[in-house]
C-alpha cells in the first residue's frame, strides 16, 4: 500500500469487513432485500451506490465549511438527488431493461441510509481525499454483501448467474435438472434475502467474536 | 451388556473432548446411563422431556400407520387396482397388506430422512456449542413425514429439514427457545420453495407424478387426478366424498392428516396424559366453527353470488371444515406445542381461537393454497408472547385495583 498511508487504507478496508455498512451497521437493508434476486441487478446497484457515495462524499466534504448546519440535510439531499438522477438517466440510456428491473430502487438510493449516514458521520468533518476513500470503502462494503446475496439467490432461486443458465435447463431437464434438482422458489422472495443476510451476519460474527454486541 | 458397556467405555474415553455429546446422546437414548439423579428437590413429576416426547410420538403412531395404509389405498384406487371402501372404518378393502406395503415403501424413507438429517444437524450443533443433544427433535422428526405429500422427493425434505432445524430452532438457541414450530417451519419452507410438490392434484397420490411424466414423454396412459377435497372445493368443484369417508380418513392429503378419527383419539390421549392443552384444542375448534358459520351466513344471506370463486368453499357446511384438510392434525399436534404456544390459560383460549378462526379465513380466501392451518399456527406462534404479555398485564392491573380498593 505505497499509495495510501496506513490510516487512509483503513478507511477503505474497515467497511469491507469489521465495520460493514450492512452486516455491522445494519444500514441499507431495504435495497439489499429488494433487488438482490438477480446478480446483475445487485452489481449495477453496487456500482451506482459506489458512484453516488464516492462523488457525493467529496462534494459534501468540499462544501462542509460553507453549509449552514441548520439546512445541511436539505443540501445533502440535493447533492444525492443530482447524482442519482445522473445514474438513472445513464441506466435508462444504456441499460433500459435493467433500469426497469431496478425500477424505483435507483431513485430510492436518495434515501439509502448508508449515503446520508456517511455524509453526516464522515464527509462533514473530514477533507475531500479522506471522504472519497471513506465513500469508496463503504460503497464497496455494501456492494460486496449485495453481490454475495445476489449470487446465492440467483444461483439457487433461478439456476442462473448473470442470466446465464449454469445448472442446466429446467424445462428440457438437462444438467442438474436431469437428476431431479429443482429451483428453490423461496430464494427469489424477499424474506429469503433477509435470511441470507442473517446467515452472513452469523458467519461473520462467529469468525470474529469481537463483533458480537450484547 | 456388550453394546451398553462398549458405549459406556466410549463415553469415558471421549469425556471432555469435542465429540463427547454425540456419544452421550446415543448412550442415554438407548440405555439408562450409569449416572442418574438419585435424589433432589428439583424433581417435581415423573415426566421429563424424554417421556413427554415419547407420549406425543405414541399418539402419532396410529396416524403414521393409517397414513401408510391410506397411501397404498389411494394409489391402488387411482390406478384401478383396488376397490373403494364399502363398510365403515374397518373396511377390508382398506386394511390390506398390499396397501400397507405400498405406503410403507414410500413413507418409511420419509421418516428415515426426517430423523436422519434432523438428528445429524442436532448432533453437529451439540458438538459445536458443547452442550448435550436435546430431545426436541424426536417429535418434530415424527411430525414432518406426516405433514408432507407422499410423493415429495427425499432431497427436498432433507434440505427443508436442515433449513427448519437451523433457522427455525438452532439460531434461537435450540430446543425450548424457538419462536416458530420447527415442523411447520419445515413445511412452510417446502411450500414456498417447491410449490409444485406441495400442492396441485398430483402429489397426494403415490405414482401420479411419475405417470404424468410418462404421459409427457409420449406414453399412452391415463392421467391420475388425486385432488384433495380442499383443492377441489377451491376450484369450485364438489369433491364427492361422503362425510364418513372424511371422518375415517379415506381421502387424499398429506400422509398423516387425513384420519380425523385417529387424530381425535390421539388428541384425547394427549389430554389424558396432560401433555396437550385441551384449552387450545377446544378453542381452536370453536374458532374454526365460528368462522365457518360466518361464511355460511354470508352465503345464506345472499351477499355473494354462485359465480364467485369463493362460493364453493364458503358454502361448505361449517362443521365439515373440521374433517377436511390438515385442520384437525394441526390443532391437536402442532398448535399445542408447549414451546411455541401461549403459556397463560387465558392466553391459550385467545391463541387457540384465533388459530381456528384464521385457518378457515385463509382456507377460503387464499386461491393459490386452499389450506390455512399451517400459516395460521405460524402466525399465532409469533403473537403468542404478545398475547401472554397482555394477559399478564391485565392480571397485574386487576390486582392493583383490588389492592387500591382494599387500602383506600
pLDDT band at B37 (very low <50, low <70, confident <90, very high): low
Q: Please, are residues B376 and B187 in contact by the beta-carbon 8 Å criterion?
A: no
> Could you say which DSSP state residue B259 is in?
-
* Chain A residues in contact with B153 (beta carbon < 8 A): 180, 182
Task: Convert the pLDDT of each residue in A145-202 to its tens digit.
Answer: 889 999 998 888 888 888 888 877 777 777 777 777 888 888 888 888 889 988 988 8
State how far the alpha carbon of B2 is from the alpha carbons of B8, B10, B25, B245, in Å: 10, 12, 18, 50
pLDDT of residue B48: 66
* Chain A residues in contact with B189 (beta carbon < 8 A): 186
Cβ-defined contact of B192 to A186 (cutoff 8 Å)? yes
Which of B323, B320, B334, B325 minimizes the C-alpha distance to B270? B334
Distance from CA of B368 to the nearest CA of A (A): 15
Task: Convert the pLDDT of each residue in B89-106 to its tens digit.
Answer: 777 778 888 888 888 888
Cβ-defined contact of B193 to A180 (cutoff 8 Å)? no
Cβ-defined contact of A182 to B156 (cutoff 8 Å)? yes
Distance from CA of A180 to the nearest CA of B (A): 8
Preferred mutation among A157, A159, A176, A185 to probe B, highest tally of B CBs within 10 A: A185
By residue count, chain B amounts to 408
pLDDT of residue B380: 93
Beta strands at A160-161 and A164-165: parallel, antiparallel or unpaired = antiparallel
CA angle at residue B176 from B174 to B180, to 5 degrees?
Answer: 85
**Pairwise CA distance, residues A67 & B96, whole Å:** 86
State how far the alpha carbon of A66 is from the alpha carbons of A61, A75, A132, in Å: 10, 11, 19
Task: Convert the pLDDT of each residue in B176-217 to its tens digit.
Answer: 788 898 999 999 999 888 888 877 777 777 777 777 777 777
CB atoms within 10 A of CB A50: 17
* Chain A residues in contact with B197 (beta carbon < 8 A): 182
As given in the structure block, the three cell numbers for residue B334 are 402442532
**Pairwise CA distance, residues B166 & B160, whole Å:** 10
Distance from CA of B152 to the nearest CA of A (A): 11
Q: Looking at this predicted complex, what is its ipTM? A: 0.83
* Chain A residues in contact with B196 (beta carbon < 8 A): 182
Q: What is the pTM of this model?
A: 0.84
Distance from CA of B194 to the nearest CA of A (A): 6
Preferred mutation among A182, A192, A209 to probe B, highest tally of B CBs within 10 A: A182
Determine the residue of chain B that is closest to A194 in CA distance: B167
Domain boundaries, chain A: 21-208
Side-chain-facing half-sphere of B56: CA atoms under 13 Å: 25
Beta-sheet strands, E only, within B195-246: none
Residues 155..214 of A with a Cβ closer than 8 Å to B: which? Answer: 180-182, 184-187, 189, 195, 198, 202
Cβ-defined contact of B192 to A195 (cutoff 8 Å)? no
The three state secondary structure string of A29-92 is HHHHHHCCCCHHHHHHHHHHHHHHHHHHHHHHHHHCCCCCHHHHHHHHHHHHHHHHHHHHHHHH
Radius of gyration of chain A (CA): 19
Given a cut of 90, is residue A125 above it in pLDDT? no
Instruction: Say which of B153, B171, B195 has its CB closest to residue A185.
Output: B195
Given a cut of 70, is residue B280 above it in pLDDT? yes
* Chain B residues in contact with A195 (beta carbon < 8 A): 167
Cβ-defined contact of B192 to A189 (cutoff 8 Å)? yes
Distance from CA of A136 to the nearest CA of B (A): 33
Beta bridge partners of A161: A164
Crossing angle of helices A39-63 and A128-158, in 10° steps, is: 170
Determine the residue of chain A that is closest to B167 in CA distance: A195
Beta bridge partners of A164: A161
Task: Convert the pLDDT of each residue in B241-266 to its tens digit.
Answer: 778 888 888 888 888 888 888 999 99
Instruction: Say which of A185, A189, A195 has its CB closest to residue B167.
Output: A195
Chain B residues bordering chain A (beta-carbon distance below 8 Å): 153, 155-156, 159, 167, 171, 189, 192-197
Distance from CA of A185 to the nearest CA of B (A): 4
Instruction: Say which of B153, B167, B193 has its CB closest to residue A184.
Output: B193
* Chain B residues in contact with A187 (beta carbon < 8 A): 193
Task: Convert the pLDDT of each residue in B328-362 to its tens digit.
Answer: 899 999 888 888 888 889 999 999 999 999 998 88
As given in the structure block, the three cell numbers for residue B377 are 399456527
Distance from CA of A128 to the nearest CA of B (A): 43
Residue with cell 397485574: B396
Amino acid at each position: 500500500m505505497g499509495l495510501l498511508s496506513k490510516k487512509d487504507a483503513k478507511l477503505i478496508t474497515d467497511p469491507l469487513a469489521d465495520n460493514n455498512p450492512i452486516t455491522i451497521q445494519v444500514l441499507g437493508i431495504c435495497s439489499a432485500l429488494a433487488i438482490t434476486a438477480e446478480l446483475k441487478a445487485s452489481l449495477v446497484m453496487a456500482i451506482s451506490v459506489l458512484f453516488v457515495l464516492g462523488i457525493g462524499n467529496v462534494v459534501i466534504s468540499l462544501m462542509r465549511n460553507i453549509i449552514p448546519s441548520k439546512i445541511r440535510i436539505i443540501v445533502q439531499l440535493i447533492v444525492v438527488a443530482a447524482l442519482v438522477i445522473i445514474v438513472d438517466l445513464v441506466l435508462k440510456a444504456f441499460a433500459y431493461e435493467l433500469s426497469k428491473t431496478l425500477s424505483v430502487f435507483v431513485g430510492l438510493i436518495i434515501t439509502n441510509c448508508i449515503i446520508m449516514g456517511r455524509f453526516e458521520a464522515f464527509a462533514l468533518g473530514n477533507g475531500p481525499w479522506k471522504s472519497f476513500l471513506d465513500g469508496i470503502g463503504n460503497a464497496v462494503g455494501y456492494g460486496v454483501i449485495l453481490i454475495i446475496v445476489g449470487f446465492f439467490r440467483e444461483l439457487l432461486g433461478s439456476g442462473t448467474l448473470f442470466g446465464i443458465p449454469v445448472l442446466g435447463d429446467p424445462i428440457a431437464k438437462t444438467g442438474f435438472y436431469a437428476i431431479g434438482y429443482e429451483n428453490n422458489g423461496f430464494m427469489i422472495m424477499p424474506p429469503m434475502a433477509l435470511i441470507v443476510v442473517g446467515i452472513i451476519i452469523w458467519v461473520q460474527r462467529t469468525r470474529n467474536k469481537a463483533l458480537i454486541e450484547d | 451388556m456388550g453394546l451398553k458397556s462398549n458405549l459406556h467405555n466410549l463415553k469415558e474415553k471421549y469425556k471432555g473432548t469435542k465429540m463427547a455429546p454425540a456419544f452421550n446422546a446415543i448412550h442415554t437414548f438407548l440405555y439408562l446411563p450409569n449416572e442418574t439423579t438419585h435424589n433432589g428437590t428439583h424433581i417435581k413429576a415423573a415426566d421429563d422431556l424424554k417421556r413427554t416426547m415419547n407420549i406425543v410420538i405414541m399418539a402419532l403412531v396410529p396416524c403414521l400407520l393409517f397414513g401408510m395404509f391410506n397411501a397404498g389405498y389411494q394409489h391402488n384406487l387411482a390406478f384401478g387396482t383396488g376397490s373403494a371402501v364399502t363398510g365403515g372404518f374397518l373396511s377390508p378393502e382398506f386394511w390390506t397388506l398390499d396397501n400397507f406395503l405400498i405406503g410403507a415403501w414410500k413413507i418409511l424413507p420419509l421418516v428415515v430422512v426426517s430423523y436422519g438429517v434432523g438428528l445429524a444437524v442436532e448432533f453437529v450443533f451439540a458438538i459445536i456449542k458443547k452442550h448435550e443433544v436435546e430431545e426436541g427433535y424426536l417429535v418434530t422428526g415424527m411430525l414432518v413425514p406426516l405433514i408432507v405429500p407422499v410423493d415429495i422427493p427425499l432431497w427436498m425434505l432433507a434440505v427443508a429439514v436442515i433449513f427448519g432445524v437451523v433457522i427455525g430452532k438452532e439460531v434461537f438457541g435450540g430446543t425450548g427457545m424457538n419462536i416458530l414450530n420447527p415442523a411447520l417451519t419445515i413445511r412452510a419452507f417446502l411450500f414456498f420453495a417447491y410449490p409444485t410438490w406441495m400442492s396441485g392434484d398430483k402429489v397426494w397420490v403415490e405414482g401420479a407424478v411419475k405417470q404424468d411424466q410418462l404421459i409427457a414423454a409420449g406414453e399412452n396412459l391415463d392421467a391420475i387426478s388425486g385432488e384433495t377435497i380442499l383443492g377441489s372445493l377451491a376450484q369450485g368443484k364438489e369433491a364427492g366424498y361422503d362425510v364418513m369417508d372424511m371422518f375415517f380418513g379415506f381421502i387424499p392429503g398429506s400422509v398423516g392428516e387425513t384420519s380425523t378419527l385417529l387424530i381425535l383419539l390421539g388428541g384425547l390421549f394427549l389430554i389424558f396424559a396432560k401433555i396437550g392443552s385441551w384449552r387450545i384444542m377446544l378453542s381452536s375448534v370453536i374458532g374454526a366453527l365460528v368462522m365457518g358459520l360466518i361464511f355460511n351466513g354470508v352465503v345464506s344471506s345472499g351477499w355473494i353470488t354462485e359465480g364467485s370463486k369463493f362460493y364453493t368453499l364458503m358454502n361448505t357446511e361449517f362443521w365439515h371444515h373440521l374433517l377436511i384438510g390438515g385442520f384437525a392434525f394441526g390443532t391437536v399436534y402442532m398448535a399445542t406445542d408447549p414451546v411455541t404456544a401461549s403459556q397463560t390459560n387465558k392466553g391459550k383460549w385467545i391463541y387457540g381461537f384465533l388459530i381456528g378462526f384464521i385457518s378457515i379465513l385463509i382456507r377460503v380466501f387464499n386461491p393459490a393454497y386452499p389450506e390455512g392451518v399451517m400459516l395460521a399456527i405460524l402466525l399465532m406462534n409469533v403473537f403468542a408472547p404478545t398475547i401472554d404479555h397482555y394477559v399478564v398485564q391485565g392480571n397485574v392491573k386487576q390486582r392493583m385495583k383490588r389492592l387500591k380498593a382494599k387500602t383506600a
